[in-house]
Amino acid sequence: MLRDYQSLSEQAAALVGDRIRRNPATVLGLATGSTPLGLYRELVKMVRRGVIDFGEVVTFNLDEYYPIAKENPQSYYYYMQRHFWEPAAIPPERAHIPDGNPDDVRASCRDYELKIYRAGGIDLQILGIGVNGHIGFNEPGEELMAKTHLVSLSGETIAANSRFFEKAADVPRMAITMGLGTIMKAREILLLAAGPDKGTAIRETVKGGLSTRVPASLLQAHPRVTVMVDREAARYLR
């Protein structure tokens, strides 16, 4: 448990920095949303100070809205360019994210899985968590999908994402996301959560049984997961 969002971001950056110094060609799985913004800011500072170099790193983002064009400022592609890929000097050919506007969704999802496979799999996957316990956009339900797929976002997720949009009608209803299998195959996982809204999801993730109703709870079956939470997100852990 970390004191606050800033120390969470610094600790997360220290872990990522350590893995990249050990293996400069690390394959990183990346998340968007508000939680990893502090991590990205700290990593960019480390790049500017010459402490780490992302020149050889390969990245794969968890998800992208659908349908959405890359140029749309609300796309995750745009978010990543702005907050991380560009300022961290990640070579564009090494930065991957699901295509939010493919001609053929299934083929595009298959291709994304293949790219991850060909890169040797993900070494370190960074995750945020939804208020409903989703990871990537794998929403709670009867069953979970293993591979990258198109998903309808839940009402809770649409409501949570609406803070990034001016009009409710603009909030995307669908997304393309890595599946639970894609995420669980990562060799190491770093889950970040900050703020009181995440308290219940974190308690169920860490203390509950494994359930498709809380997709993040499946991480309990993963051999190498670090969960970093601030005080507020840890409020129900005691």
- Measured distance CA(108)–CA(223) in Å, rounded: 30
Point out which span in 2-10, 15-23, 28-36, 219-227 binds ligand F6R (CB under 6 A). Answer: 28-36
Residue type, 179: G
Per-residue buried b or exposed e for 10-24, using 16+ beta carbons within 10 Å of the residue's own CB:
bbbbebbbebbeeee
Point out which span in 5-13, 50-58, 133-141, 199-207 binds ligand F6R (CB under 6 A). Answer: 133-141
Q: Which of 12, 42, 52, 63 binds ligand F6R (CB under 6 A)?
A: 63
Give the three-class secondary structure for 176.
strand
Catalytic residue among 61, 132, 138, 161: 132
Q: Which residue lies nearer to ligand F6R by CB, 53 or 174?
A: 174
Q: Does residue 149 belong to the site contacting ligand F6R (CB under 6 A)?
A: no
Q: Which residue lies nearer to ligand F6R by CB, 58 or 193?
A: 193
Residues 57/25, Cβ–Cβ less than 8 Å = yes
Residue 197 is a catalytic residue: no
Distance of closest approach, residue 32 Cβ to ligand F6R, in angstroms: 4
Q: Exposure of 87 by Cβ count < 10 A (0-12 exposed, 13-18 middle, 19+ buried)? A: middle
Catalytic residues, which ones?
A: 63, 132, 134, 139
